[in-house]
Amino acid sequence: MDEPPLCFVLMPFGTRKDPGGGPDIDFDAIYEKALCPAIEDAGMEPLRADGERTGGNIHKTMFEPLVLCDFAIADLTTANASVFYGLGVRHAVRPATTLAIFAGRQPPPFDLNDLRSLPYVLAEGNRLDAAATAGLRSTVAERLQELRPLNASGVDSPLFQLLTDYPVPNLAHMKTDAFRDRQRYSATIKQQLAEARRTKNADRVALVESQLPALDVVETGVLVDLFVSYRAVLAYEKMLALFERMPVPLQRTVLVREQLAFAMNRLTQREAAVAILQQVIDEGAATSETFGLLGRIHKDRWSETKDDESTKRQGRSHLDKAIAAYIRGFERDWRDAYPGINAVTLLDIKGDAPSLAKKDELLPVVRFAVTQRLKSSKPDYWDYATLLELAVLASNADAVDHALGDVLTAVREPWEPMTTANNLKLIRDARAARAEVAPWLDQVIAALESAGE
């Protein structure tokens, strides 16, 4: 039986800002609910890039699917740079079988108006309701079926249409078959890592790594998955060891450097972690996550020094630096409530008049940010944890009880509830010093600690 042709999907990951000013667009939902089933309906095998998850690293493992997959879909909705770059590479090497799509209210730039693109419709709030899902799935499947004859003849690439003598690369079956085998191998490895994370088993993660070939030939997505799998099972030393063996281009990505700093902080290598994040900031590549991690390091330093009379002044300096880093992270991306809630919490803990005034200024913005995320995307642990901390800061016991249930069911990695528990302890202790007592808070902290064990 012949293998089904591969269809590569170029599109953003996660939720992205709507260029038309509407709610965020959940591209994972578009892929999972509509594009992936449509590709299978057309008798093809779907494949999605890992490039954006790995910091947009462009190298051999990103070029291969662009060149070797029989078909490709490019979602141009947000004018994403990585998607447009990939579409250009695809058009340069494949005369046909590339389908461009876009959400109808966000048409592609004018210079692609001549490209035969497929508009699709999102429901109110930029969501995929049942009707929008069915419509996108059926039209994409139909268009892919129309493209199948072009796999042997015909042209849909503007470059090949313009340059009629432009040579078509010879893509040998041996090369495409080897690529397919590697993709299936990578998918198997990722499934094994997902199971190891689910069971919180560090030995199983290490076993997967031991079965890998030389790391410079392993798919980038697998290496990043392995890296964060060690984080999920609290094997921070393994993260550092793996980083040293990673290919240099992958080491230099912002995502990997951020996670390296995270691991170093957990191992109390604080100065080295700060140096890594500061380098990212100095390069102008910092994200809200970069500043959030920097804030966490200073918060840990403050926590270690705040109770010792000889280091209290140093501790206050770290508290101020933590607040400043968290505020910068929230200002970098107002939709990321994580640095925002940490800034608000530390301002409440600091407790002087200017800090409380700044807290009152930021708190409604943080609440709005997390509420919008809950409306427009798939909520994760930190969304619910943010609501829990906001309820604690408001001393609303009923809201705390409701939010705690959501938090406990959303836990993915054991360090997450432990982080939230530590935050709530800091709030409890600071308020106790101001004679503000909340007995119910101890029960909340105990439940979080139990979830993290």
> Domain-by-domain residue ranges, the chain?
6-171, 172-249, 253-342
- Regarding predicted confidence, which is higher, 196 or 57? 196
pLDDT at 242: 95
Mean per-residue pLDDT, 307-315:
80
Confidence of residue 113 (pLDDT cuts 50, 70, 90): low
6-171 and 253-342, same CATH topology: no
Q: Contact, 159 vs 178, CB < 8 A? A: no
Rounded Cα gap, residues 225 and 233, in angstroms: 12
Rounded Cα gap, residues 385 and 421, in angstroms: 10
Class of 6-171 per CATH?
Answer: alpha beta
Rounded Cα gap, residues 350 and 355, in angstroms: 7
Q: Contact, 100 vs 74, CB < 8 A? A: yes
Q: For the whole model, what pTM was predicted?
A: 0.69
Mean per-residue pLDDT, 59-68:
70
**CA dihedral angle for residue 246, residue 66, residue 79, residue 131, rounded to 10 degrees:** -110
Determine the topology of domain 253-342 in CATH.
1.25.40
What the block records as the tokens of 287 is: 């994200």
Coil, helix or strand for 10? strand
- The answer on pLDDT for 50 being more than 50 is yes
Look at residues 157, 18, 147 and name the one whose alpha carbon lies nearest to residue 78. 18
- The answer on pLDDT for 167 being more than 80 is no
Q: Contact, 27 vs 120, CB < 8 A? A: no
DSSP secondary structure letter of residue 253: S
Identify any residues that bridge with 9 across adjacent strands, giving them in sequence order.
48, 73
**CA dihedral angle for residue 345, residue 348, residue 349, residue 351, rounded to 10 degrees:** 160
